[in-house]
Structure 1
Amino acid sequence: MAEEKEPHSVAASTVPASDSAGSVPEKPATVTSPALETDYHLTGSKLYLVLAGIGLAIFLFALDVSVISTAIPAITVDFHATTAIGWYAAAYPLCLCSLQPLAGKIYANFSLKWSYFVFVGIFLFGSLLCAVATSSVMFIIARAITGVGAAGIFSGALSILAIVAPLSKRALYTSALSSLFGIATVSGPTIGGALTTKVSWRWCFYINLPVGAVTLVVLALFFRPPVRDTDKGTLREKILKIDIFGCLLFIPTVVMAMLALQWGGHEHPWKSATVIGLLCGAVGLAVVFLVWEWHKGDDAMIPFSIVLHRSIFLSCLFAACMMGAYIVNIYYIPEWFQVIKGASPLHSGVMVIPAVGSQIAAVAVSGLVINKTGYHNPWAFVGMAFMAISSGLYTTLHPSTNHAKWITYLVFQGVGGVAMQSSILAVQVALASRPRQIPVGISTVAFFQYFGAAVFQSIALAIFQNQLVKSLKSHAGLNQDQVQLLLDAGSGHARKETMKSFPKKLDLVVWAYNKAIANTFYASLAAAIVAFLLATGIEWKDIRATKPASPKAEASPEVVVEKSRELDKPVSRKEEV
C-alpha cells in the first residue's frame, strides 16, 4: 500500500456501448468509480504525524481538567476572590460534558476536518483568554469557552482515527491515545504545581498555544478526509440535522445535574432548596428531552437506535463506572500523600509515577495483543479486576503504610487503566457498518465517562466530608470551631494549620484524615465491580473480521464496465444491466 492514496472518486473510462443498430457512439461515456474506505488510510510517517497531532490535543484537553487544582490558590491571590473558587474548577467540565452529544452530531453532519479545527481553535482561544485574564469573571468565562472547544477534541480525535487507520489496527492506536488521557489527568496537578511555582499560573494555559498549533499544522498538511454525502447539503439543512431543540433541552439538564452533584453536601446541604430544585429541574427536563429524542428518531442528537444497541448501551454504563473508579483513585491518592505523608503538591505528583509507568506498559501490551487476537473484551475484565484490587487495597491505607505497599497499589491501579479503551472500541465495532454514526457513538460514550466521573466524585466527596467531621470530633476530640478551622484551611494545609493551632493533636488529626480518605475508595471499589459486571454483556466481536459496509456503487453496472475495460474485454448489454 502506498503511503497515502489519493481518493479516486472519479475514474475516466471510455468503454464503447453498442446502440440498437450495433454501432459504437463517437463520444465515450464517463464512468464514476466510488472511493473505498481504504483509500483514506495512512501509513508510515504521515500516519504517525497525524496520530501525534491528535494525541497532543487529547493530552492538552485532559491536562486542563486537573492542571488547575494546584494553581487555584495563586489565582485567588491575583484576583482577590475566594468566593468564585468553585466556578474556577466547574466552568470547564460543565461545558465539556454538556456539549459532548452536540459535538458528535456536528462531526456527523459537517466536515470532520474543519469541525475539528474549529473545536481546537475555540479551545486555544479560551486558553489564551485564561492566560491573560484580568478579573475573576473574565477567567471563569474563559474557562467556559475552553470547555466548549474541549467538548469536541476527544471524540473528534477518535473519529479522525477511524478514517486514517483500519479497524483491525485501531485497538493499538486507541490504547495509546487513551493512555495519554490518563497520563495527563494524573500528571496535571504536578505540571500545574511546577509551572505555578517556577514561572506563573498563567503558563498553565499559555503552554496550550504552541502545542495546539502543532496539531493544527499537522492535520492541515496530512489529513485528507473523504467528502461524505452529509458534507454537501446547505448550511440550513446541516443545522436542522444536529437537533438544535434537543441540544437546548440537554445542556441545562446536564448543567443542573452536575451543579447539584458538585454543590450537594459542600456548597449547600443535600436537603436545601437549591440542591433539591436543581435535581427536580434536571429530572423534569430529562424526561422532556427523552420524549423529544424518541420523536426525532434517527435525526435525534442521541439517536435511540444507537443508544439502545446492547453493546453501546452497556459500553456507556461501563464507561461511566470505569471512569468513576479511575477518577476517584487519581484524585484522592495525591491527597493521601500530601496530608498523611506530608508531601508537597509537586512531590505527590512524582510519587504517582508508578501508576503512570504501569499504565503505559499495560496499555501498550494490551494494544498489541488486541491487534493480534482481534478481541478487546478480555482487557475490560483485566482492567476492572486490577482497578477493584487497587481500590480495595487503598481502603487499608494507614499512616504507617510503607513505600513497598503503596507503590504496589499504584502499579495495580495503573494496570487497571487498560480498560479505558474497551468502551470506545466496542462502539466502533458495533457501528462499523454505519461509519457516519461513529462520531455520535463516541461522543455519547465520552459524555457518560465525564458524567460518571462527576457522579462518583460527588459520592466520594460526601463520604470524605462526613467521615472526616465524624473522626475529627470522636477520635481527635476537636470541637465544631476547630473542625471548621481545618475545613476552611483545606486538605493541603491541614497539617500546617494543626501544627499552628493545636500541635499536640497532630497524630490524631492525621489519623482522622487517613480514615476519611481511605473510606472514599469504597466508592471506586463499588464502581469497578459494577463495571466488571457490565462488561459481561458487551458482545464479543473479532475486530479483524469486522468489515465496514461496502459502497453501494461498488457493485453497480458502472464498476462492472470499468473492471471489464481494464481487462480489455467486450462488455455486453446483459453485463451492464
Structure 2
Amino acid sequence: MPEATAALTPRQIITAMSGLVIAMLLAMLDNMIVSPALPTIVGDLGGLDHLSWVVTGYILASTVATPIWGKLGDLFGHKATFMASITIFLIGSALCGMSQDMLQLILFRAIQGLGAGGLMVGIMSVIGLMVSPRERGKYQGIMMAVMPAAMIGGPLIGGFITDNLSWRWVFYVNLPLGLLSLVVVWATLTLPGEVTKKAAQLSIDWLGASVLSVWITALVLTVTWGGSQYAWGSWQIIGLAVVAIAGFALFLIVERRAAEPIIPLQLFSNRNFSVASALGFVVGFAMFGGVTFLPQFQQFVQGQSATNSGLLLMPMMISAMVVSLAGGLLITKTGRYKAIPIVGAAMLVVGLWLFSTMDANTSIAQTGLYMVALGVGMGCLMQTTNLIAQNSVPIRDMGTATGTATFARNMGGSIGVALLGAIYANQLTSSLGDTGGQGTPSASGMTPAALHQLPEAVQIVFKQAVVNGTHAIFLWGAVIAAAAFVLAWLIKEVPLRETLTPDDVAEPADSIGH
C-alpha cells in the first residue's frame, strides 16, 4: 500500500479554491446570463425556429463531455485537464460573441458546452484530490455559496448587459473571469493525492467515447423532442429511442472490453457508488425537473416579473447554501453522513408536494416557505451524494467517479425537465381545451405581459390552467423524489477516509453481494 501523501494546509486549500470558485461561477452563471438575452439574439441573428438549439446544443455537448473529462483527468492529470476545459469554454465564449448567424451561434455554444462539461467535474475532482473525504464536506459546502449568486445575479446581469451594451457581451463577460481563474489555478493548485498513468500505459477509449456520444445524444433528443417537436409515436421519436437503447447496449459491451473504459463498469459493483449515482439521477429528475417550472407559476399566476421571479428564489437558494455548509461541518466533525441524504430526500418529497398544493390564492410568503423545504432537501443531497461516490473509489479513479456521478445527475435533470415539461404542456393545453369557450387563450406563445392585456375572465381561465399544469408536474416530482427517499436508506455508512493514499478505497464489505 503506497504511503499517504502530504496533506495541504488550510491556507493552501483556500488559496487554490479561489480559482475553483471563479470556475464554478463561470459554469453556473452562463445559462443564467444568456437566457434574458435570447429574445434580442433572435431579433438580431434571426432563426427563431432554431432558438431551442441554442440551449439544447449546449446541454448535449456538456452532458456528453462530462464523463469523458473525468476519465481524461485520471489519465493525464486533473490540473491540466481542468485548465484545458476552462480554455475550451473561453474559446467557445469568444466565438459565441462573434457569431454572425444562428447556425454559428449553435455550433459555438456546443464548443462552449464541451468546455463546460469539464468545469464542474474538474472542480469536484480537484477538491477530492486536495482534501480527504472526512474534511471534504466543509470545503464542498463553500462551493454552494456560488449558487445563490448565479441564480439571482445571472438574470440581472444578463438583462443589464442586453439593455445597455450588446447581447454579445453576455458571452464576452466570461473572458476576464475565465482568464483570472486560469492564472489562479496555474499558480496555486497542487494536487498531492494525484496519480497519473505512465505514457506507455495510456490508452484512450475512443470507441467508447463515440458510442457514449451517440446514445446520450439520441436519448436527450428523444425526451426533448417527444411530445413537442414530434409526437411520441412518430417515427422520428421511435427511431431515436431505438438508437438510444441499441447504443447503450453496445456501450456496455465496448466498456467491458476496453483497457481504459470511459466509465469502468466495475465501479458499480460498489454498493454505495451505485446507490449514490442512482440517487443523483432521481434527485436531478425530481429537483431540476420541478424547479424549472416554478417561474411559470410565479409569473403567470402570481403576476411577478421575470427579474422578480429570480429574486423570489432566494429562500430556496439560501436555505440550500446554509444546510450544505452545516452538513459539511457536521460530516467533518462526526464522520457520519447516512442520515443527511435520508433527511434531504424526505424534505425533497415534502417541498415538491407542498408546491403541488399551490393555487391562485397561494401567497408569495407561502411559496417562500415551501422553497425553504425544497432548499433544505437540495442542501442535504447535492454535495453528500458526490462525497459518497468519491469515498467509494480509489484516488486513481477520482475523476471517473466524479464524472460518472455528475453525469447521472445531469441526465436525470435533462430527462426530468423534458418529461415534466411534456406533462405541463399537455395539462395546460387540456385545461384550456376543456373550457371550450370563445376567446379562450392559446398556450402557444403566451407571455406574462400578453396575459395581462387580456380581459380578467380570460386571465382567470389561463391562470387556472397554469395551476393545473404545475400541480401535475410537482406531484409527479414528489412521487419520483419518494424513490430517492427509498434509495437513501440503502446507503451503507462506510467510514470516510482521512488520508489521500492513492490506492485507498472504501472497505470491500461495501461491495454488492457482501
Range of TM-score over shorter length: over 0.9
- Is the aligned partner of 1:259 residue 2:221? yes
Equivalent in the alignment of 2:21: 55
1:273 counterpart (235, 243, 246): 235
Verify: 1:287 aligned to 2:244, yes or no.
no
CA distance change for structure 1 residues 113 and 478 in 2, over 3 Å: closer, same or farther? farther
Letter in 2 for 1:486: A
Residue 450 of structure 1 corresponds to 410
Residue 34 of structure 2, aligned match among 50, 65, 68 = 68
Contact 2:131 2:500 in 1 (8 A): no
Does the 8 Å contact 2:65/2:117 carry over to 1?
yes
1:355 to 299, 316, 333: 316
Are residues 186 and 523 of structure 1, via their aligned partners in 2, closer, same or farther at CA, if it must alter by over 3 Å?
Answer: farther
Q: Find out whether 1:486 has 2:451 as its counterpart.
A: no
Counterparts of 1:58 and 1:207 in 2: how far apart (Å)? 15
Map of 1:136-175 to 2, 5 A cutoff?
136-175=102-141
Give the drift of 1:196.
2.7
- Partner secondary structure for residue 526 of structure 1: helix
Q: Paired residue for 2:50, among 77, 84, 88?
A: 84
Aligned counterpart for 2:10 among listed residues 36, 40, 43:
43
1:180 corresponds to which of 129, 146, 149: 146
**Residue in 2 that maps onto 1:402:** 363
2:104 aligned counterpart, secondary structure = helix
Q: Which runs of 5+ in 1 are unaligned?
A: 1-33, 553-577
Distance 2:484 2:148 in 1: 18
2:391 partner amino acid: V
Does structure 2 retain, via aligned residues, the 8 Å contact 1:316–1:445? yes
Equivalent position of 1:518 in the other structure? 471
Kindly indicate whether residue 301 of structure 2 is the aligned counterpart of residue 340 of structure 1. Answer: yes
Mapping of residues 500-539 of structure 1, within 5 Å: 500=454, 504-539=457-492
Separation (CA, whole Å) in 2 of partners of 1:398 and 1:182: 26
Q: Deviations over 1:80-108 (max 9, x none)?
A: 21010110110111011112221111001
Does the alignment pair 1:425 with 2:387? yes
Cα gap change, 1:478 to 1:462, in 2 (>3 Å): farther
CA–CA distance in 1 between the matches of 2:148 and 2:364? Answer: 23
* Match 1:206 to one of 162, 167, 172: 172
Q: Distance in 2 between matches of 1:422 and 1:413?
A: 16
- The reply to whether residue 378 of structure 1 matches residue 331 of structure 2 is no
- Whole-Å Cα distance in 2 between the matches of residues 551 and 101 of structure 1? 21
Question: Structure 2 vs 1, CA of residues 189 and 416 (structure 1 numbering), >3 Å: closer, same or farther?
Answer: farther
User: Which residue identity does 1:471 align to in structure 2?
Assistant: S
Taking the aligned partners of 2:109 and 2:182, their CA distance within structure 1 comes to 21
The question of 1:366 aligning with 2:322 is answered: no
SS in 2 for 1:39: coil
Cα distance change, pair 58–529 in 1 and its aligned pair in 2 (3 A): same
Alignment of 1:538-549 (within 5 A): 538-543=491-496, 546-549=498-501
Equivalence for 1:440? 400
Structure 2: state its 5+ residue gaps. 505-514
Q: 1:26 maps to which residue?
A: none
CA distance in 2, matches of 1:181, 1:449: 16
Is residue 127 of structure 1 aligned with residue 93 of structure 2?
yes
Q: Which residue of structure 2 lines up, in the alignment, with residue 222 of structure 1?
A: 188
2:349–2:482 Cα contact (<8 Å) kept: yes
Verify: 1:104 aligned to 2:70, yes or no: yes
Q: Counterpart in 2 of 1:556?
A: none
Deviation at 1:517, TM superposition (A): 1.9
Matches within 5 A, 1:533-572: 533-543=486-496, 546-549=498-501
What's the offset of the Cα at 1:323?
1.6
CA distance in 1, matches of 2:182, 2:163: 30
Cα offset for 1:503? 5.4
Instruction: Write the distance in 2 (CA, Å) between the matches of 1:350 and 1:302.
Output: 39
**Among 464, 475, 481, the residue aligned to 2:435:** 475
2:423 to 430, 440, 463: 463
Q: How many residues align?
A: 503
Is the Cα–Cα contact under 8 Å of residues 193 and 500 in structure 2 kept in the other structure? no
The 3 A distance-change label for structure 1 pair 37 and 51 is farther
Q: C-alpha displacement at 1:491, in angstroms? A: 4.5
- Give the direction of change, closer, same or farther, for the CA distance of 1:84–1:372 in structure 2 (3 Å limit): same
| Alpha-carbon separation, structure 1, partners of 2:364 and 2:215 | 45
Structure 2 Cα separation of the partners of residues 323 and 309 of structure 1? 21
Higher alpha-carbon Rg: 1
Distance 1:169 1:229, change over 3 A: closer
C-alpha RMSD of matched pairs (Å):
2.3
Could you say which residue in structure 2 is the equivalent of 1:95? 61
1:5 aligns with none
* Larger relative contact order (Cα-Cα within 8 Å, sequence gap ≥ 6): 2
Q: Structure 1 residue 40: deviation in Å?
A: 5.0
Is this contact kept in 1: 2:303–2:448, CA < 8 A?
Answer: no
SS of residue paired to 1:230: coil
Q: Which amino acid aligns with 2:403?
A: S
Q: How far apart are the structure 2 equivalents of 1:476 and 1:333? A: 27
Give CA-to-partner distance per residue, 1:545-576, whole Å, 9 cap, x none. Answer: 55554779xxxxxxxxxxxxxxxxxxxxxxxx
1:495 alignment counterpart: 451
Alignment partner, residue 316 of structure 1: 277
Asked if the contact 2:428/2:443 (under 8 Å) is kept, the reply is: no
Give TM-score scaled by structure 2 length.
Answer: 0.92
Matched-pair contact (CA < 8 Å) for 1:338–1:492: yes
Contact 1:71–1:201 at 8 Å: present in 2 too?
yes
Distance, in Å, in 2 between the alignment partners of 1:478 and 1:300 is 60
Contact kept, 8 Å, 2:288 with 2:413, in 1: the verdict is: yes
Q: Deviations over 1:523-558 (max 9, x none)?
A: 321222111111111220232x55554779xxxxxx
Q: Which digits, 9 at most, give the CA deviation of each residue in 1:390-438, with x for residues without a partner?
A: 100111111111132111111112111121012211112111xx21101
- Flag the 1:523–1:74 CA change in 2: closer, same or farther, 3 A: farther
1:566 — aligned with what?
Answer: none
* Aligned partners of 2:122 and 2:399 also within 8 Å: yes
Of the structure 1 ranges 275-284 and 70-79, higher mean CA displacement relative to structure 2 is found in: 70-79
Query: TM-score, normalised to structure 1's length?
Result: 0.82
In the alignment, the residues of structure 2 paired with residue 350 and residue 176 of structure 1 have an alpha-carbon distance, to the nearest angstrom, of 21
